[in-house]
């Protein structure tokens, strides 16, 4: 395992784009791009917790801002512009994002006070919303205990979302209008808590796991194909489009939800390890 970047905060949202690995540091409020040597640059500074992002088909970076709250785009002059108003979706803000090849953006939210924990009851408030290229936002899936990483297959027909608190990867069919249907358990992960995910060219999924300090590759149905152990929480992962392909992992020392805003000893890292199967689909192809 190679360490490319260290001494960061809570690192998240890795994306492979234009030959570099992009990721966010939620504590610093920065989006950073790093090359294969470990040389990096801060591309965006924006205070938001969470701070997740992806790329539109035209190449613009789109970030979920809970400061606004809105989906913002990074413009050629370096400014941030509002792409979609997200204020009506949740008073608690949104979390992750994935954008498909048609420009449809999916954003999700646990829709509860993270520090206080989820509400009681079998029906949970988490959701997925669709933002279409015209900037309109609407709910397309509900009752997700805690939605985290999302990925879309190369044919734009299936969305997979990590439900961290139910220990599942959930699959949805994507309709022509971007809506979601045919919900099913794509993979039952036992006791694992999936966070950020990505898909590979063999139709398997990698997911990062904070409490179990590892990244795991699973087939649809839940068969474990391989595991990468870590010495700290794995928050998300991303596959490169290189030869050989690499699995990039962002990892940090997790203090628990209650200490999210006061913890300082994150020691966030960007790691990579060579794999045999390259990435496929979205995010950030």
285 assigned to some structural domain? no
pLDDT the model gives residue 160: 98
pLDDT the model gives residue 114: 82
Check: CB of residue 114 under 8 Å from CB of residue 156: no
35 assigned to some structural domain? yes
pLDDT the model gives residue 129: 98
Question: Any idea which residue has 């954008």 for tokens?
Answer: 99
Q: pTM of the prediction?
A: 0.96
283 assigned to some structural domain? no
CA atoms within 13 A on the CB side of 31: 29
What is the mean pLDDT for each group of 10 consecutive residues in the chain (285 residues)? 96 96 97 95 95 96 95 96 97 96 96 86 95 97 97 97 98 97 98 98 97 98 98 97 94 85 89 96 84
Domain count, the chain: 1
Contacts of 118 (CB under 8 A, 6+ apart): 110, 112, 124, 125, 145, 146, 165
280 assigned to some structural domain? no
Check: CB of residue 83 under 8 Å from CB of residue 45: no
59 assigned to some structural domain? yes
Q: What is the CATH number of the domain that holds 60?
A: 2.120.10.30
Domain that holds residue 246: 2-274
CB atoms within 10 A of CB 245: 18
Q: How far apart are CA 111 and CA 91, in angstroms?
A: 7
Q: Which residues of 22-40 are buried (b: 16+ CB within 10 A; e: fewer)?
A: bbbbbbbbbbbbbeeeeeb
284 assigned to some structural domain? no
160 assigned to some structural domain? yes
pLDDT the model gives residue 255: 87
240: left (phi over 0), alpha (psi -120 to 50) or beta: beta
* Token digits of residue 186: 């794509």
164 assigned to some structural domain? yes
HEC assignment per residue over the chain: CEEEEEEECCEEEEEEECCEEEEEECCCCEEEEECCCCCEEEEEECCCCCCCEEECCCCCEEEEECCCCEEEEECCCCCEEEEEECCCCCCCCCCCEEECCCCCEEEEECCCCCCCCCCCCCCCCEEEEEECCCCCEEEEEEEECCEEEEEECCCCCEEEEEECCCCEEEEEEECCCCCEEEEEEEEECCCCCEEEEEEECCCCEEEEECCCCEEEEECCCCCEEEEEECCCEEEEEEECCCCCCEEEEEEECCCCHHHCCCCCCCCEEEEEEECCCCECCECCC
pLDDT the model gives residue 115: 78
């Amino acid at each position: 395992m190679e360490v490319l970047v260290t001494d960061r905060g809570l690192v998240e949202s890795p994306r492979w784009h234009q030959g570099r690995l992009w990721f966010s540091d939620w504590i610093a409020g920065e989006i950073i791009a790093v090359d294969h040597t470990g040389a990096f640059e801060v591309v965006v500074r924006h205070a938001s917790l969470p701070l997740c992002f992806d790329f539109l088909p035209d190449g613009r970076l789109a970030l979920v801002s809970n400061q606004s709250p809105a989906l913002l785009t990074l413009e050629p002059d370096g400014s941030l512009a509002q792409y979609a108003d997200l204020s009506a979706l949740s008073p608690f803000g949104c979390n992750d994002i994935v954008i498909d090849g048609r420009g449809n953006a999916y954003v999700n939210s646990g829709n509860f006070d993270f520090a206080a924990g989820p509400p009681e009851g079998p029906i949970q408030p988490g959701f997925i919303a669709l933002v279409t290229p015209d900037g309109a936002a609407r709910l397309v899936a509900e009752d997700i205990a805690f939605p985290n990483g999302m990925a879309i297959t190369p044919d734009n027909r299936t969305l997979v979302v990590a439900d961290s608190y139910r220990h599942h990867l959930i699959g949805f069919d994507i309709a022509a209008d971007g809506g979601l249907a045919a919900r099913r358990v794509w993979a039952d992960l036992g006791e694992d808590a999936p966070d950020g995910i990505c898909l590979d060219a063999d139709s398997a999924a990698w997911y990062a796991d904070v409490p179990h300090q590892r990244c795991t590759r699973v087939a649809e149905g839940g068969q474990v194909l391989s595991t990468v152990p870590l010495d700290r929480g794995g928050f998300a992962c991303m596959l490169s489009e290189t030869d050989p392909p690499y699995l990039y992992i962002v990892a940090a020392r997790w203090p628990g939800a209650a200490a999210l805003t006061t913890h300082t000893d994150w020691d966030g890292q960007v790691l990579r390890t060579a794999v045999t199967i390259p990435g496929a689909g979205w995010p950030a192809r």
